[in-house]
Amino acid sequence: MGKFDGKVVVMTGAAGGIGKATAKKLAEQGAKLALVDLNLEAVEQVILEIGLDDSRAIALQANVAKEEDVKAYVEATVEKFGRIDGFFNNAGIEGITANVEDYPTDTFDLVFNVNVKGAFLGLKYIVPVMKKQGAGSIVNTASGAGLIGSPGFVGYNSSKHAVIGMTKVVALEAAPFGVRVNVVAPGVINTRMMRQIEKNTVPEDAEGARKAFGAAVPMGRYGEAEEVANVAIFLLSDDASYVSQSIYTVDGGQINQ
């Protein structure tokens, strides 16, 4: 028997590296999955690759920054599966790399719309479902960047600080109803997002940027998406039944060194 047998987990950003790795591991442990992404084809491919049929998975297209889309993916999940036991609030974008005076306002707005408003809307519509059930676990994806300052990343870092603050508030609001809310905060992880950050940081030498980022980690390497997935799944599971309002860094020891 799997730890998630009979449990329903909603995940945003499901077609990304961390989302896909988490979906695969949850499926292996028996979960029913509502996988949400802006790219419907990509999330349908994730379901195909992990081998779930329509009795255990649903692919949903949504722009997480649009309230009607978020309301729709929550309603579709409840209609299909009857409940929501876990929510991996994982969608996010990186923006660009530029000092504050050069950072485009429209890019800042876009990053906050996806990373902050998107996370907020997911909580707004899923928390009431879980409160009504009297149980549930939510994991918000922030970043090690939400705990520090990084020159050139005013949009991304600020948005991830906001996600951590939001988590602390909602965890306290939801705790009396048996609902837990935590944060997973990845460091440099071997995903598409880091490929883009490398290019943004040193356009003429992305590979050099990659080596420098890896060398700055005490463990001397990038993390893998599966390593983040393992922590997210622990927080979603009953193994973390007395864990709420916590921040779990997955960064090879980098942030707190």
Two tokens, residue 234: 């622990």
Residues 53 and 166 in one domain: yes
In a domain, 213, yes or no: yes
Residue 26 lies in a domain: yes
Number of domains in the chain: 2
pTM for this entry: 0.94
Average pLDDT, the chain: 94
pLDDT the model gives residue 241: 98
Is 73 annotated as catalytic? Answer: no
- Print the domain residue range for 118: 8-187+225-250
Q: Are residues 47 and 86 in the same domain?
A: yes
Q: Are residues 85 and 206 in the same domain?
A: no
pLDDT digits (tens, 9 = 90+) for 221-256: 888 999 999 999 999 999 999 999 999 999 999 887
Residues 75 and 183 in one domain: yes
* 163-196 pLDDT, tens digit each: 999 999 999 999 999 999 999 999 888 877 777 7
Confirm whether 3 is domain-assigned.
no
Question: Per the domain annotation, does 1 fall within a domain?
Answer: no
* SS3 of the chain: CCCCCCCEEEEECCCCHHHHHHHHHHHHCCCEEEEEECCHHHHHHHHHHHCCCCCCEEEEECCCCCHHHHHHHHHHHHHHHCCCCEEEECCCCCCCCECHHHCCHHHHHHHHHHHHHHHHHHHHHHHHHHHHHCCEEEEEECCHHHCCCCCCEHHHHHHHHHHHHHHHHHHHHHHHHCEEEEEEEECCECCHHHHHHHHHHCCCCHHHHHHHHHHCCCCCCCECHHHHHHHHHHHHCHHHCCCCCCEEEECCCCCCC
Residues 117 and 26 in one domain: yes
Mark whether 77 and 108 lie in a shared domain: yes
Q: Measured between alpha carbons, how far is 96 from 153 in angstroms, rounded to an integer?
A: 7
183: CATH: 3.40.50.720
Query: Residue 255: inside a domain, yes or no?
Result: no
Residues 235 and 216 in one domain: no
pLDDT given at position 166: 98
What is the per-residue pLDDT for 257?
Answer: 63
User: Are residues 98 and 204 part of one domain?
Assistant: no
Give a yes or no: residue 256 inside a domain: no
**Phi-psi category of residue 95: left, alpha or beta, with phi > 0 → left and psi -120 to 50 → alpha:** left
Q: Are residues 208 and 148 in the same domain?
A: no
In this model, does residue 100 exceed pLDDT 90?
Answer: yes
Provide the pLDDT for residue 17: 94
Same domain for 97 and 211: no
84 and 202 part of one domain: no
The predicted pLDDT at position 101 comes to 98
pLDDT surpassing 90 at residue 197: no
Residue 102 banded pLDDT, cuts 50, 70, 90: very high
pLDDT digits (tens, 9 = 90+) for 19-56: 999 999 999 999 999 999 999 999 999 999 999 999 99
Which is catalytic among the residues 103, 125, 156, 248? 156
Indicate whether 92 pLDDT > 70: yes
Residues 113 and 217 placed together within one structural domain of the fold: no
